[in-house]
Amino acid sequence: MEALDPGVEALGAPAVAAGTKWVYLTFDDGPSARYTAQVLKILHAYKVRATFFVVGQNVKRYPYLTRRADRLGHSVQNHTWSHPNLRNVSWKTFKYQIRTTDRYVRAQTGYTPRCLRPPYGATNRIVARRAAALGKTIKLWSVDPRDWARPGASVIARRVLAKVQPGSVILLHDGGGNRSQTVAALPKILKTLKARGYVFYPLWCQ
């Protein structure tokens, strides 16, 4: 395992060696039986660490995949229990969505997620205030190749590689539907970014 400092993100750019370019690779909506294992295998082959924004009810269904992601050095973070639009839920439902997911993640990883990615990126002042009240930092993304719309693996890779810059948060999906194109695009994305001198950090929101 590489000796990456998971706290580097909290320290920000000055902590990173001069000239180092880094990105955050994130996977939403998993774990899924079919695609998460494939994503983990590819990340492992390229020695890349990523962040999995998991849906709690999927962790309940496939706890071993969340455990495996944790054991391989990836960050597992909160993407709610059942993927609702958090702008449209009561405070009671909001708490349930976050805390139940926390509990299932904690059972597999031993820690409580500090990052929250609201489904659909749907946030506002109330969502932000509620997230903060539960100790969460909202993490959206800066590069979205719309892999879920299945435009083709080469298009997914091209969109990521055209937009990525140092500090980018790349949004991909390992659950919630057929993600075979995402899996197929991943080696090309990793190979090219490595060739450009990028390193990969997981997000911890510490």
The CA–CA distances, whole Å, from 112 to 153, 156, 179 equal 34, 32, 27
Residues comprising the chain, all counted: 206
83 is catalytic: no
Q: Which of 12, 37, 38, 36 is nearest to 24 (CA)?
A: 12
Say which of 74, 79, 83, 173 is annotated catalytic.
173
In whole angstroms, the minimum distance from the beta carbon of 21 to Zn ion comes to: 27
State the minimum distance, in angstroms, from the CB of residue 66 to Zn ion. 16
Instruction: Estimate the crossing angle of helix 180-195 against helix 153-163, to 10 degrees.
Output: 40
Q: How many CB atoms lie within 10 A of CB 126?
A: 12
CA distance 190 to 193: 5
Q: Which residues bind Zn ion (CB under 5 A)?
A: 28-29, 119
Q: Which residue is nearest to Zn ion (CB)?
A: 28
Residue 29 is among the residues annotated as catalytic for this protein:
no
Q: E strands within the chain?
A: 21-28, 51-54, 75-78, 115-116, 137-138, 169-173, 198-200
Q: Which is nearer to Zn ion, 96 or 141 (CB)?
A: 141
- Pair type for strands 137-138 and 51-54: unpaired
Q: Which is nearer to Zn ion, 22 or 102 (CB)?
A: 102
Which one is catalytic: 5, 28, 70, 102?
28
- Least separation in angstroms between CB 173 and Zn ion: 7
Nearer to Zn ion, 16 or 145 (CB): 145
- Return the number of the residue (30 or 202) whose C-beta is nearest Zn ion: 30
Q: How far is the CB of 39 from Zn ion (least distance, A)?
A: 15
Active site residues: 28, 173
